[in-house]
Amino acid sequence: MKLKIKDLEELSFKKDFWSDQDKAREILQKKTKLTEALDKWERFNNEINDIENLGSIALQEKDEQVLQVLAHELEPLSFAVGQEELKMMLNNEQDSLNAIISIHAGAGGTEAQDWAEMLLRMYLRWTEKKGFVTKIIDSLSGDEAGIKSVSFTVEGEYAYGYAKAEIGIHRLVRISPFDAGARRHTSFASVFVYPEVNDEIKIEINEDDLRIDTFRAGGKGGQHVNKTDSAVRITHLPTGIVVQCQNERSQHQNKAMAMKYLKSRLYEKELQLQNEKINEENKLKKDIAWGSQIRSYILHPYKMVKDHRTNLENNNANKVLDGDLDEFIQAYLMNATNRS
């Protein structure tokens, strides 16, 4: 890292460095990221050495009080090192981008729609814990409960890099709250994640390739009913990709958000065409039903969450459903890194 920083510094000292401003900014951004990462690792190293030296002395003097203090200090340090290690696995160009997450209820009717809403809550709690900012783009309510589908943006450092670990089919096993006979039901929902295109990524879209429809946004009735056709649906005719947005205040804002969503979908599709190793969505986009799940959430007859890609298990299913996903995401990223 020190050698890379030195090389970038030498480039920045050249007389013609600012002749290409876009390239110059890219080099300075790389240098800043590397310098910040190096500073963190050096700080970690100093803290570890201090704890190690103090621990050695405390062991010799059998000072249990000092050892307890050091053990307490190790917990946040271990967590911070783990988080930094995780970031270093996110080395694809699009990993640092914001994300768009889309959840769709699968087979199972009301059960699956309720499960889709549970997943939405789980991801919103996870993003809150990560300090990410979310915004609902579009949501379609279920017939009786839950949601049929929902799409939302996630804004934060390495949002896409983390969230891409969630792409696939999620399976829930529980006693149904909608079954008067209290029988066990299995429900499915799919999760897709797309890198949100920023201003630096140019996606060319021909206006003639678009069909733009407007419709009345859904509401809860009464004063919440939208009396104008403010919602926007955009169909990209060459690819058949359809996106829509209805949660903004005006038709203009909904169209702008829908276009951003479309660009992200097209960008992700282009990435797949360029290099199928970048993402594994094609392998994961199977029927939303038996045998294709990436993770199972079992709430009856016992409680457990199991990731079928890494075989990681967690017996505290409620905690996972409350947004504690980092261990599953980290295990997946480490597994993917080892395979590559």
pLDDT digits (tens, 9 = 90+) for 136-162: 999 999 988 999 999 999 999 899 999
Which percentage of the chain shows pLDDT scores above 70?
89
Q: Is the peptide bond preceding residue 76 cis, with omega within 30 degrees of 0? A: no
| 269: Cβ contacts below 8 Å, ≥ 6 apart | 239, 241
Gap between the Cα atoms of 106 and 88, Å rounded = 34
User: pLDDT (tens digit, 9 = 90+) per residue, 309-328?
Assistant: 999 999 999 999 999 999 99
For 65, the enclosing helix (H) or strand (E) is helix 64-89
**Average pLDDT over every residue of 37-45:** 91
- Reduced to 3 states, what is the DSSP secondary structure of residue 340? coil
Write the CB contacts of 114 (distance below 8 Å, at least 6 apart in sequence).
142, 145, 146, 177, 178, 187
Average pLDDT over residues 116-133: 97
What integer best gives the mean pLDDT of the chain? 87
The domains of the chain are located at 2-89, 96-198+287-339, 207-274
Q: Which option is the CATH number for 96-198+287-339: 3.40.47.10, 3.40.30.10, 3.30.70.1660, 3.30.470.30?
A: 3.30.70.1660
**Would you state the pLDDT for residue 288?**
52
Tell me what pLDDT residue 279 has.
Answer: 44
What counts of helices (H) and strands (E) characterise the chain?
Answer: 9, 11
At residue 224 the predicted structure's pLDDT band, cuts being 50, 70 and 90, is: very low
- Concatenating the DSSP letter of every residue in 227-284 gives -S--EEEEEETTTTEEEEE--SSSHHHHHHHHHHHHHHHHHHHHHHHH-TTS--HHHH
**CA-to-CA distance for 46 and 40, rounded, in angstroms?**
10
Give the side-chain half-sphere CA count within 13 A for 240.
0
Query: Which among 87, 91, 97 has a CA at the least distance from the CA of 201?
Result: 97
288 neighbors 169 (Cβ within 8 angstroms): yes
Provide the pLDDT for residue 198. 73
> How many angstroms separate the most distant Cα atoms in the chain?
79
Beta carbons of 84 and 44 less than 8 angstroms apart: yes
Q: Which DSSP string do the residues of 99-117 spell out, in sequence order?
A: EEEEEEE-SSTHHHHHHHH
Give pLDDT tens digits for 189-207.
999 999 998 766 778 899 9
Cα 176 to its chain centre, rounded Å, is: 28
Q: Give the pLDDT score at 275.
A: 55
Say whether pTM exceeds 0.85.
no
How many angstroms separate the Cα of 70 from the Cα of each of 59, 73, 81?
11, 5, 16
The answer to whether residue 268 scores a pLDDT higher than 60 is yes
The answer to whether 258 touches 231, Cβ cutoff 8 Å, is: no
pLDDT at 88: 76
Q: What is the pLDDT of residue 323?
A: 97
CB 295 within 8 A of CB 329: no
Q: How far apart are the first and last CA of the chain?
A: 21
CATH topology match: 96-198+287-339 vs 207-274: no
Q: Tell me how long the chain is.
A: 340
**Residue in 190, 195, 136 with CA at minimum distance from that of residue 162:** 195
Lowest mean pLDDT: which of 109-123, 135-149, 216-230? 216-230
Identity of the residue numbered 202: K
Place of tokens 């990410």: 132
Q: Is 176 left (phi over 0), alpha (psi -120 to 50) or beta?
A: beta
With cut-offs at 50, 70 and 90, classify the pLDDT of residue 249.
Answer: confident
Domain 207-274: which CATH class?
alpha beta
Greater confidence (267 vs 122) lies with 122
